[in-house]
Amino acid sequence: MPDQQKNEAIYDQQVHAAACVRLDGYPYLIETPDGQMHAGRLDAYGQLSRIDARESSDDYTVYWGDKARARDDMARVEYHMEQATES
């Protein structure tokens, strides 16, 4: 049982964006120090998805809009390049 608890995610971080305009659908990307990336779009209330940040709950970066899309695209390209070299 202790090993099973070790692997369970702890979704304890959730960012809330606030602005004077509607934000629903606005793209974001959260990057944690260990390299995890969580991309998505804001909901109608300006909330981002909860993330598992047990190792780095105080230190993560949020990219917004075009920067989020560019960062996500770059990560996808790097992933495909790694896959191609492993084959």
pLDDT tens-digit map of 38-77? 888 888 888 888 777 665 556 788 899 899 998 888 887 7
In the chain, where the domains are located: 7-86
List phi, psi (to 5°) of 33. Answer: -60, -25
User: b/e per residue, 31-63, with b = 16+ CB within 10 A?
Assistant: bbeeeebbbeebeeeeebbebbbeeeeeebeeb
Task: Report the percentage of the chain scoring pLDDT > 90.
Answer: 0
**H or E element: which one contains 30?**
strand 27-31
The pTM is what? Answer: 0.66
- Distance, in Å, from the CA atom of 63 to the CA atom of 73, rounded to the nearest integer, reads 13
- Distance, in Å, from the CA atom of 25 to the CA atom of 67, rounded to the nearest integer, reads 15
Task: Report the percentage of the chain scoring pLDDT > 70.
Answer: 67
